[in-house]
Homo-oligomer: A and B are copies of this chain.
């Protein structure tokens, strides 16, 4: 998107009457004012990880049923630190991962170039590795990583039985399981088990606060106390010992307060929205039905034409449909849907009606351009 299109989308989205995917954007001032009204905001700011940072760590540890937890400025840092601790303990840099894991596709090869890790792939198929594949992977291994849900594959989850078998296979080999649970909060519906039961099968769990919870930034790793103790010097080494972080921490606490109980409703409605989108022949949601409140969509329409049509329709009608499409490299578009409270107002018929209108506009533009 150009800067101009981005500003137009932001401005029009603030005035939107209805929003299908994502939420209404706020100004910085609006967010800061809301944070100033947070329950703990009348107290002393944090300094290098104390105060409200410790309040959030305690709360996340309790939610995940782990004895200890540690805040990090980003998940990228949190997971490198955690995997380095497991690697140092095991005396091997080899870590079992999926090649589509965030560390492999979005972090500039940090695992290899900075942390000194050596990724090993039990499978390269576009699905989670199986227990049998982990068992068959040559050793030694320092840890086995599962991303629940796996973002690059449309927020794909395993079944509970597949997950349980995988963690058993890791523990049978004597290696710890690390969960990339950036969106673990919203995975309980599909897995059919509460957070603490999911976390109990893993040895370290990373969670995030700026996806479903609408926070600003930040991550927490929960584990046994000796593991968290070993993370502390690595947090310093990566430059994660930040002087004050209360805005991000208050936002994370607010997100937990306001949204944790809303997630199941969003996941259920994501299924309704995905089924409606699938009625439009140009659209292909995946996975189908979706596993969490987010899922991928491919469109047989060029991204430029689709983005222009979404923006024009929003500016004309006040209705924001699925936006932010990327070129999929094959002449079509790749998009993502995130159902939150705003999306609950859309029935399946609404999704189809507005979608048809926008796709027809995009197709007409595309035909006139070629």
Contact = CB atoms under 8 A, between A and B. Distances in A.
A10 B72 contact: no
A237 B74 contact: no
Question: This chain: how many copies in the complex?
Answer: 2
A244 B245 CA distance: 12
Contact of A37 (B10, B29, B38, B238): B29
A38 B30 CA distance: 12
A236 B76 contact: yes
A27 B7 contact: no
Nearest to A246: B28
A74 B32 contact: no
Interface of A: 7, 10, 25-29, 31-33, 35-38, 40-45, 52, 72-78, 80, 106-110, 113-115, 210, 216-217, 233-234, 236-248, 250
Nearest to A219: B239
A241 B76 contact: yes
Nearest to A7: B44
A241 B74 contact: yes
A31 B7 contact: no
Contacts of A78: 239
A26 B47 CA distance: 13
A26 B248 CA distance: 17
